[in-house]
């Protein structure tokens, strides 16, 4: 075996082939990124122009705007449940209801809710189920007049997707917003999210996503983000940079060419009738947000109906990111398994002209560059170690290429940070900008290898059939202020 490995990795043909594969892959990926910067810049400018014509006050005062149900699953969220529900109840929108789905929590989440909001238990047998879910035991309504738009469903555990489906079944609105009970949503978020539905006349908006931000160590008062702070620890700090880059450059660019395949599960808006038509979220995958968006797009393609998936660049929803490496690995392990499952479920899309650009371009991109990137990186590390061991590497050239790749990555992160700072008033202090840039420049060394490990761990589980669900994410909870 040793002689075979030596013969393989010391082969000039293998060495050249590996170099060409990694080089071509990198060039194509960088080309996508450069294109993304251009498209994202154009999209942000267009979004700003649109916001001038249809402003918040116009939407609030309108009488014909669609009704919205905000659906938030909760499982063992006792540490933050009250503050989070207060946040969701403070949203400014004329016609909305909050449906909190207690998905069989084993902690005191339900008891806290009953006490804080003076909830009364009611019979749930009348609830129709166009989407099959685990049984709903009861639903609760508040005795207090200021919480009349709050409903709590208490159901047997079925997972996040199942809980969302239960909320969709109960909702009676035109639009549904799917979020998490641990998210802090901006008070005017629904007003901004509904704008594309009011503006678009020629195409149906089948999904709309808003920006997600990391709010670790920020200050919350009465469920409202009062003071946005950068996280104190490096892991969530780098996630701020990662989210800015992914949402602002990635999703904004894909939205510009109507190629967005994913609306974040933390904050996405959908027409309720379309979600029911595709039978809701798939409870068999841990990547239910990506899978639903693809299924909605497939429905519209098969019906030959004009449609759009929209992304709004403003950060409208704040969440608590993984506070350390161990929790981060669990999260990325789950995301990787969800991506694997979704791409496998919809493999018929690959290069299928029936689905137009989704089959010819969008799905292949996700397969080769979202799913394939950690595999290529992992194989690249193995090749570097093996070729170095057998003396095949030209070290001055290797160091030059590594430095070039590192600097290009820093350029993308820097561009994303400055685009965000220029267009949104969240991180405007010089100290904050410097800290974000430092985090961006440290990311390839201290953060990115952990991501690749978590992703490869998820792939390993899928390859060998190791069963694993959502896993648990231990939260510190937001800093709550009483003043």
**pLDDT tens per residue across span 194-211:** 989 988 889 999 999 999
Which tokens belong to 181? 């009970």
3-state DSSP call for residue 251?
helix
Of 154, 171, 176, 179, which Cα lies nearest the Cα of 85? Answer: 179
Q: Could you tell me the two tokens for 234? A: 């490096």
Q: Which two tokens stand for residue 381?
A: 């590390």
Give Cβ neighbours of residue 163 (< 8 Å, ≥ 6 apart): 73, 74, 75, 101, 103, 133, 155
pTM of the model: 0.93
The pLDDT assigned to 455 comes to 97
Q: Give CA–CA dist 296/363, Å, rounded.
A: 14
* Other Cβ atoms closer than 10 A to 32: 12
Instruction: Please report how many Cα atoms fall inside a 13 Å half-sphere around the Cα of residue 304, on the Cβ side.
Output: 1
Give SS3 for 142: strand
Strand ranges (E), 242-334: 267-271, 307-319
- Sequence-ordered list of residues with C-beta below 8 angstroms from that of 204, at least 6 positions apart, any chain: 271, 274, 300, 305, 306, 307, 308
Q: How far apart are CA 452 and CA 346, in angstroms?
A: 24
CB burial of 242-253 (b: ≥16 within 10 Å; e: otherwise) equals bbbbbbbbbbbb
Helix axes 189-199, 12-53, angle to 10 degrees: 90
Backbone angles phi, psi at 217, to 5 degrees: 70, 10
Question: Alpha-carbon Rg of the chain, whole angstroms?
Answer: 23
Cα separation, 338 vs 340, in Å, equals: 5
Q: In what order do the strands lie in the sheet with 150-155?
A: 119-123, 136-142, 150-155, 96-103, 68-74, 175-179, 267-271, 204-214, 307-319, 184-185
Alpha-carbon gap, residue 72 to 368, rounded angstroms: 33
| pLDDT for the residue 39 | 94
Architecture in CATH of 66-199 = Alpha-Beta Complex (3.90)
Q: Would you list the DSSP string of 380-404?
A: HHHHHHHHHHTT---HHHHHHHHHH
Neighbours of 76 (CB within 10 A): 16
Q: Which helix (H) or strand (E) holds 184?
A: strand 184-185
Q: What is the pLDDT of residue 391?
A: 85
Q: Chain-centre distance of CA 153, in angstroms?
A: 25
Record the tokens describing residue 95, joined without a space: 């016609």
> Do residues 295 and 213 make contact, with C-beta atoms less than 8 angstroms apart?
no
Residues 132/138/143/148 CA torsion (nearest 10 deg): 0
The domain spans of the chain are 1-53+230-269+285-483, 66-199
The predicted-structure confidence for 335-349, as pLDDT tens digits, reads as follows: 999 999 999 999 999
| Strand 224-227 with 219-221, pairing | antiparallel
DSSP for residue 145 = G
Return the pLDDT at 221: 79
Which pLDDT does position 477 carry in this prediction? 59
Q: Which residues pair with 150 in a beta bridge?
A: 98
Report, as ranges of residue numbers, the positions in the chain whose pLDDT lies below 70.
1-3, 5-6, 9, 52-63, 469-483
- Residue 262 near residue 293 (C-beta atoms within 8 A): yes
pLDDT of residue 52: 67
175 within 8 A of 69, measured Cβ to Cβ = yes
Burial category of 275 from C-beta neighbours within 10 Å (exposed 0-12, middle 13-18, buried 19 and up): buried
SS3 of the chain: helix, strand, coil, percent, to 5? 55, 15, 30
CA distance 188 to 59: 11
Residue 329: the pLDDT is 95
Q: Which of 346, 223, 319 is nearest to 264 (CA)?
A: 319
What distance in Å separates the CA atoms of residue 155 and residue 304, rounded to the nearest whole number? 37
Q: Taking a C-beta distance cutoff of 8 angstroms, is the pair 199, 54 a contact?
A: yes
What is the C-alpha to C-alpha distance for residues 169 and 124, in angstroms, rounded to an integer?
12
């Amino acid at each position: 075996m040793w002689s075979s490995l030596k013969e393989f990795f010391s082969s000039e043909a293998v060495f050249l082939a590996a170099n060409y594969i990694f080089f071509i892959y990198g060039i194509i990926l960088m080309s996508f990124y450069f294109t993304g910067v251009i498209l994202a810049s154009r999209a942000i400018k267009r979004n700003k122009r649109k916001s001038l014509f249809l402003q918040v006050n116009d939407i609030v005062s309108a009488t014909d705007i669609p009704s919205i149900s905000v659906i938030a699953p909760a499982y063992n969220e006792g540490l933050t449940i009250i503050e989070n529900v207060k946040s969701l109840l403070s949203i400014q929108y004329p016609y909305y209801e909050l449906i909190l789905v207690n998905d069989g929590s084993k902690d005191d989440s339900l008891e806290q809710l009953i006490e804080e909001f003076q909830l009364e238990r009611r019979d749930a047998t009348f609830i129709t189920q166009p989407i099959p879910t685990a049984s709903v035991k009861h639903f609760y309504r508040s005795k207090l007049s200021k919480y009349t738009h709050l409903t709590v469903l208490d159901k047997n555990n079925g997972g996040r997707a199942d809980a969302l489906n239960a909320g969709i079944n109960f909702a009676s609105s035109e639009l549904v917003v799917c979020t998490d009970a641990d998210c802090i949503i901006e008070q005017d978020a629904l007003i901004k999210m509904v704008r594309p539905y009011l503006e678009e006349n020629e195409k149906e908006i089948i999904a709309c996503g808003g920006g997600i931000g990391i709010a670790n160590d920020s200050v919350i008062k009465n469920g409202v983000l009062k003071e946005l702070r950068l996280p104190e620890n490096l892991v969530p700090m780098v996630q701020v940079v990662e989210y800015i880059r992914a949402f602002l450059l990635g999703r904004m660019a894909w939205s510009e060419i109507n190629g967005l395949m994913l609306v974040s599960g933390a904050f996405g808006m959908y027409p309720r009738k379309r979600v029911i038509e595709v039978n809701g979220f798939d409870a068999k995958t841990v990547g239910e947000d990506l899978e639903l968006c693809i299924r909605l797009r497939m429905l519209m393609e098969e019906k030959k109906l004009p449609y759009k998936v929209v992304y709004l660049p403003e950060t409208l929803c704040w969440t608590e990111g993984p506070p350390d490496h161990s929790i981060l690995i669990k999260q990325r392990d789950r995301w990787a398994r969800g991506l694997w499952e979704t791409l496998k479920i919809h493999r018929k899309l690959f290069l299928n002209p029936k689905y137009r650009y989704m089959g010819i371009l969008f799905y292949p991109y996700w397969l080769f560059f979202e799913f394939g990137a950690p595999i290529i990186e992992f194989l690249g590390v193995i090749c570097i170690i093996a070729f170095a061991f057998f003396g095949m590497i030209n070290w001055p050239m290797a160091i030059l290429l590594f430095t070039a790749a590192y600097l290009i990555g820093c350029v993308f992160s820097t561009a994303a940070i400055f685009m965000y700072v220029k267009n949104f008033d969240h991180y405007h202090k010089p100290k904050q900008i410097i800290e974000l840039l430092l985090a961006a420049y440290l990311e390839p060394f201290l953060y990115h290898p952990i991501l690749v490990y978590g992703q490869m761990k998820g792939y390993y589980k899928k390859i060998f059939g190791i069963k694993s669900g959502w896993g648990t994410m231990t939260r510190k909870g937001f800093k709550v202020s009483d003043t």
